Amino acid sequence: MIASRRNTGALRALVVDAGEDLAAFSRDLYANGLRHRIFEEQGRQVVETLTDAEAATIVARYRAWRAGDLALTALPPVGARRTFAWRTVVASAPVVFATAALAIVCYPATWPIDANRLGVALPWLTATPVHIEGHALAFGTLRETCARLEVWRFVTPIFLHFSALHLGCNLAGLLAFGLRIERRFGSLATLALLLGTAVLSNVAQVLWQPDGLFGGLSGVDYGLFGFVFARGWREPGESAWAMPRSIAVVMIVGLVALSFGVTEPFGLAIANAAHWGGLAAGALIGVGWPRR
């Protein structure tokens, strides 16, 4: 059987006998940037992909392979050094990796704070205009941000991180949830989701605490987590949304614990409104998002 669509939106490009060895064929598909997964069902092997174009290409390559017109790349000899296909990995989720790269590039923007300075980049990345009055930070308002048409400020706080640990944890969350979303729904949808959760989480934090310096991808991370959780509830049979219960428990328990100020005795303030705002936004979008 060739090319049939499941009700989850995934497309079955091929269904072949269980005894057929598709290992080399799968490597060839990955090498050519064709997203797919292979699983066994009722004694048959199913090759599943996401789009009609990818399915057509997979079918064409399979027929060429079986007709002897396509030579597949052989496995490297035992002990040979293998290289990781970074280009293929990055190309599979450009929005997620571009966001991670921007966060890394912007990380030094917060370093001058340790010397009681703002530096050059930081004042352009905060949610509202900021300057130093005496020895304290003075913040503008969202109305001032809009009046100046500095609309980028609704997004750019997600690129501000105040320690290497802060940055590393937030990047881990971005990759954990963002990659599965972009590979399932594509880059444009992921970009829209990321921008939407960024804006809503940043605005929520400014409204809750107007006079505070905050930043980080954690609000977006909670938005992506909320989206994945909501999609798993809507599509319980879809492997893209399968998530260990322990991860969901850690995310929720951690959010509640941080909201009660468990870190404040250690001098660590948390932008909890951004977390809750991102989670609510991501979950609502995930519930209402169409299957395709």
DSSP 79-144: T------HHHHHHH-HHHHHHHHHHHHHGGGGGGGGGT--TTTHHHHSSS-EEEETTEEEE--HHH
- 36, 161, 166, 275: which is the annotated catalytic residue? 275
92 catalytic per annotation: no
pLDDT band at 4 (very low <50, low <70, confident <90, very high): low
Q: What percent of the chain clears pLDDT 70, i.e. is strictly above it?
A: 91
pLDDT per position as a tens digit, 167-198: 999 999 999 999 999 988 889 999 999 999 99
275 catalytic per annotation: yes
Structural domains present in the chain: 2-66 (3.30.70.2080), 87-288 (1.20.1540.10)
- 161, 166, 201, 218: which is the annotated catalytic residue? 218
Asked if residues 225 and 282 have their Cβ atoms less than 8 Å apart, the reply is yes
**Identity of the residue numbered 267:** G
Task: State residue 7's pLDDT score.
Answer: 46
User: Is the pLDDT reported for residue 19 higher than 90?
Assistant: no
Average pLDDT over residues 5-24: 76
Sign of torsion over alpha carbons 104, 108, 114, 119? negative
User: Is the pLDDT reported for residue 1 higher than 60?
Assistant: no
179: left (phi over 0), alpha (psi -120 to 50) or beta: alpha
Spatial separation of the C-alpha atoms in residues 206 and 11, rounded to whole Å: 43
**Nearest Cα to 36, choosing from 50, 23, 17?**
50
Burial class (CB in 10 A: 0-12, 13-18, 19+), 181: buried
Give the global pTM.
0.71
Which of the pair, 188 or 9, is modelled with greater confidence? 188
pLDDT band at 6 (very low <50, low <70, confident <90, very high): low
